Amino acid sequence: MVSAGDFRNGVTFEMEGQVYQIIEFQHVKPGKGAAFVRTKIRNVIGGAVVERTFNPTDKFPTAYIERRDMEYSYADGDLYYFMDPESYELVPISSSTLPDNFKFVKENVTCRILSYKGNVFGVEPPTSVTLQVTKTDPGFAGNTATNATKPAVVETGAEVKVPLFIEEGEMILIDTRTGEYLSRA
């Protein structure tokens, strides 16, 4: 059990049948009246963020989120299969559970799988990946003081903006959180 007076950023707890994580918290002690805890909490499974105040003595059961590193194996229709490196068990995950930045993940890449009581609710790809450029316009020398970019398609099929000097066949490093080109690999 965790009391509202003990809330800290990142704490997960159960409330009204849902799992929430503290994003921000503030202990408020007004000059008049009882103290309270003002929070911004995120529904871990649904993703909705709400602001809510609690009495510091309110108690909630602690929710333990399991985070396991698993290797992405392959996709079969609407299901994506991840392999547990310890038991070699394949875990199917629906495409609706995958985040938008999963488009940068290719086979045999390790991702973090988030689950609560055995139910998978999220997948975290690595923060950066190295991918090969499969299609882009030819590179050319010119005025590069403007930080000009051009579209490029990488081996997973995702489109990324890259500098003008990048050519087909080159390996590039991409930040999966923003989808931006970082450097040549």
Q: What is the pLDDT of residue 110?
A: 92
DSSP state of 138: P
Q: What is the pLDDT of residue 140?
A: 65
Instruction: Please write the tens of the pLDDT for every residue from 96-107.
Output: 888 888 888 888
Instruction: Please write the tens of the pLDDT for every residue from 54-91.
Output: 988 899 999 888 889 999 999 888 899 999 889 988 98
Residue 129 and residue 109 in contact, taking contact as beta carbons nearer than 8 Å:
yes
According to CATH, the superfamily of the domain at 129-184 is: Nucleic acid-binding proteins (2.40.50.140)
Q: Which CATH class is domain 2-60?
A: mainly beta
Instruction: Please write the tens of the pLDDT for every residue from 111-157.
Output: 998 888 878 888 888 989 999 999 988 866 665 566 778 889 999 88
> Which CATH number, 2.40.50.140, 2.60.40.60, 3.40.309.10, 2.20.28.120, labels domain 66-124?
2.40.50.140
Domain with CATH 2.40.50.140 in the chain: 66-124, 129-184
> Does residue 185 carry a pLDDT above 80?
no
Residue 93 and residue 80 in contact, taking contact as beta carbons nearer than 8 Å:
yes
Plot region of 105 (φ>0 → left; ψ -120 to 50 → alpha; else → beta): beta
Distance, in Å, from the CA atom of 4 to the CA atom of 26, rounded to the nearest integer, reads 10
Q: What is the pLDDT of residue 38?
A: 92
Domain with CATH 2.30.30.30 in the chain: 2-60
